[in-house]
Amino acid sequence: MKLKWKFKKIIVSLVRLNNSPPEIALGVAIGVFIGILPVYGLHTVLVILAAILVRPANKIAILLGTNISLPPTVPIITWSGYEIGRFILRGNFEPLSWGFFKTLTWQKIYSHYQPLFLGSVILGALCASVAYLVTFFIVKGVKSRKQHA
């Protein structure tokens, strides 16, 4: 119940900003895309660059969208991105497993980064599209109810 209340509070605070539904949805979508990219340690830099370069996007929404990569979701995002990239590249990339991580070295990370990055870009684009649509319709609905009240 607490999580639902926090989510509602975030939506209400976004809606109260004087941005249109497309601007808020664009911000969330950009944030989700950045949050899924495997550029660990550079997410904040990318958020700042996106906030500067994509003027119509809501800056707070960009930051909130990056929260898709919280610790509980990072393993799922990483595995999904890697598997998508592995499927597309069809190279000799071993599947992620406990054995893979037991023998993990910098060399192994470097040699397996290509499918992870490619798959994460595709996964990020898909998730950003869904996040845009969901956010757009939620914000539009909340704003229209607010105007009619």
31: nearest Cα among 58, 74, 55, 66: 66
Locate the domains of the chain by residue range.
18-141
Give tens-digit pLDDT for 40-62. 889 999 999 999 999 899 988 99
Q: How far is CA 76 from the centre of its chain?
A: 12
Give the C-alpha separation, 133 to 113, whole Å. 30
pLDDT digits (tens, 9 = 90+) for 71-101: 899 999 999 999 999 999 998 888 888 888 7
Q: Give me the helix-helix angle, 43-53 and 21-36, nearest 10°.
A: 150
pTM of the model: 0.85
Nearest to 25 by CA among 15, 40, 39, 35: 15
**Structure tokens of 62?**
């960009």
